[in-house]
């Protein structure tokens, strides 16, 4: 889901953040609510956008870059459309309804996708990057993306929502790869 050639405009020049991957403990941890919306947070948000677009991904939660803060960035606009960067601070799902099956992938779970069943429509509230309250309604891909990213803040990965058999197979694959990499 690449936004081809898109460079996120930033006020601050900075390197990409490191994306933590399974089984890193930070992905299993619960993020803390954000109390101070300050200059430092603006830098983190810009850096997360840059990292997300470079990956490329359509969503990124702070846990994935090693920060236990309740913060997500996302862009659910179709591939060839203009980019539409969004931030949610302290996001909360207040309504979830319907059901949808989506083949999900995650920057923290490399080389793997699986069908996950989620709500097809959600209403989410939170704050924008300046602390203004936001109320968002989403369906389809954007609804899936919001549920996936908010799960990250609660230490949940999409592989925690698939069958235990499928998850066991994925873990086996990772172990094999780790062994192979260690042997290099």
- 106 touching Zn ion, by CB under 5 A: yes
Alpha-carbon distance of 17 to 20, in angstroms, equals 9
Shortest separation between residue 24's beta carbon and Zn ion, angstroms = 12
For 40-155, where are the E strands, in sequence order? 59-61, 71-74, 86-97, 100-106, 109-118, 121-127, 133-139
**x/- track of binding to Zn ion for residues 56-95 (CB under 5 A):** ----------------------------------------
Alpha-carbon distance of 36 to 56, in angstroms, equals 29
Q: With beta carbons less than 8 A apart as the criterion, state whether 27 and 149 touch.
A: no
Taking CB under 5 A as the binding criterion, the range among 103-111, 115-123, 129-137, 166-174 that sits at the site for Zn ion is 103-111
- CB-wise, 37 or 156, nearer to Zn ion? 156
SS3 13: coil
Q: Given 39, 97, 149, 178, which residue is catalytic?
A: 149
Shortest separation between residue 145's beta carbon and Zn ion, angstroms = 9
149 a catalytic residue? yes
Alpha-carbon distance of 105 to 109, in angstroms, equals 7
- CB-wise, 106 or 174, nearer to Zn ion? 106
Shortest separation between residue 115's beta carbon and Zn ion, angstroms = 15
The site for Zn ion (CB under 5 A) is made up of 106
């Amino acid at each position: 889901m690449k936004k081809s050639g898109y460079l996120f405009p930033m006020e601050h020049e900075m390197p990409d953040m490191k994306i933590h991957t399974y089984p890193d403990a930070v992905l299993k941890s619960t993020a803390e609510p954000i109390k101070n919306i300050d200059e430092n947070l603006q830098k983190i948000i810009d850096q997360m956008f840059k990292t997300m677009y470079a990956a490329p991904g359509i969503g990124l939660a702070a846990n994935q870059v090693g920060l236990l803060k309740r913060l997500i960035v996302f862009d659910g606009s179709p591939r060839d459309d203009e980019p539409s960067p969004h931030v949610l601070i302290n996001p909360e799902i207040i309504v979830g309804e319907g059901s949808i099956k989506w083949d999900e992938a995650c920057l923290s779970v490399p080389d793997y996708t699986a069908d996950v069943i989620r709500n097809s429509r959600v209403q989410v509230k939170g704050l924008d990057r300046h602390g203004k309250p936001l109320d968002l309604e989403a369906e389809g891909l954007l609804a899936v993306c919001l549920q996936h990213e908010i799960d990250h803040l609660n230490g949940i990965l999409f592989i925690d929502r698939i069958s235990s058999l499928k998850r066991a197979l994925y873990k086996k694959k990772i172990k094999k790869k780790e062994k192979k990499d260690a042997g290099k």
